[in-house]
Amino acid sequence: DTLDEQDKALLAEPPTFDKSSRQPKRQPLPAELPRVEVTVDIDEADKYCACCQVPLHQMGQSCSETLEFVPAHIKVIKTIRPKYACRQCEQQGVEVAIKAASMPATPIPKSMATPSLLSHIITCKYQFGLPLYRQETLFSDIGIELNRKTMSSWMIRCADLLEPLYQRLKVSLLEQDIIHADETPLKVLKADKLTSYMWLYCCGDDSPKGSTNIVLYDYHNSRAGQCAVDFLEGFSGYLQVDGYQAYAQTDATLVACLAHIRRKFIEAKGNNKKAGKADVALNLIGKLYGIEQQIKGKSADEKYAIRQQKSNVIVDELYQWLLQHQDKIPPKMALGKAIQYGLNQFGKFRRYLDDGRLSIDNNRAERAIKPFVIGRKAWLFSNTPRGARASAILYSLIETAKANNLIVHEYIAKCLQGLAENPSKVEPLLPWNIR
């Protein structure tokens, strides 16, 4: 792992990053929150001058604000539907229909659950990672007996109701030119295989302005490439992924992830504080990320031009370095494995230079799948494939709402009510159309 002169020359030019960090500053409390004024005054006896006993005058006041938490409250909606009948016909023995208004549409007919209650349970579990058995305890604490089995059934029925919206979002996703994908394991107790997989497909930017932001989960009890082939049927654009070979079976043009290449070299470096060959690769990769930091927020055309001017030469340097060291480092060493992985992925990785809309890595998908991974630590497993499928739909709508800067609880409640009233009317419920 000894550095040669070329390695030393490459390390002599470290990557540049904007490391300026702002000190955290307390933000003012939202102006729309209700205010309750509490005046804390001195005693009347103290409102006289200690020197001459003349009454003091108020010269101003100091104000501070604190935040009070008021626990959420539950109320019962009592729906009254007056019934009407003809008394004259009754007296004459004529049988006539009794008239009454139809029961308002609800997400789960004949249940006590309103859209707001269902949305609360959904967001507590899938957005905030609160398992149903804990929610059962919380409801019990406020006098509501609502068992987890009932709530679990509600989640599945809500997912069934929301599926047309999920399918409509999938249509929009497959119309995009660029999709990011990833997958993560999931235990499903009553599936054919104990270990199933949640696949993730997303599009858009971290900043939703001007881009279509969609995040969709797709449950399968397999990690086979056919899962991606089936989901991405008809898509032939760019697919940004890690090195998993299953995605090669799709019709998409694959774009590899520099972050995964970088991790291999970090693993190769280990705890070695002395500069070595892994640092050379990491230095070049760092330069590429430094350029990405500089062009963040620029248009796709501007990104393309700057990458061609600055990144292209560094990408070539990195590739040549990998080629030169391919036969010098034993392939069974961690560094040798990192070099081979980098070379295997390089052709797909450098495609990010071809289009300014492409990302240098697949972190977009990794960030999108992270909420599921965190939630999985809380609820551990799904009981049935149907429950796992329901989780995929509910996670999809929550993460898509978040990606579009919507208030998740409000969005889910509106979708449940809207589809309860008209299951085929999904266009107004798309995140960019919702009002």
Under 8 Å between Cβ of 257 and 240 = yes
Q: What are the two backbone dihedrals, phi and then psi, of residue 118, each rounded to the nearest 5 degrees?
A: -60, -40
In this predicted model, what pLDDT tens digit does every residue of 3-42 receive, in sequence order? 666 666 666 666 766 655 566 777 888 899 999 999 999 9
DSSP 55: B
11 exposed, middle or buried (CB, 10 Å; 0-12, 13-18, 19+)?
Answer: middle
SS (H, E, C) 64-79: CCCCCCCCCCCCCCCC
Sketch the domain layout of the chain as residue ranges: 112-254+365-435, 258-361
Average pLDDT over residues 114-134: 95
Pairing mode of beta strands 178-187, 238-240: parallel
- What pLDDT is stored for residue 316 in this prediction? 95
CATH architecture of the domain with range 112-254+365-435: 2-Layer Sandwich (3.30)
Average pLDDT over residues 43-47: 90
Query: 95-104, 198-207, 243-252, 356-365: lowest mean pLDDT where?
Result: 198-207
Distance CA 96, CA 429 (A): 41
Task: Specify which residues 188 forms β-bridges with.
Answer: 382
Average pLDDT over residues 374-382: 86
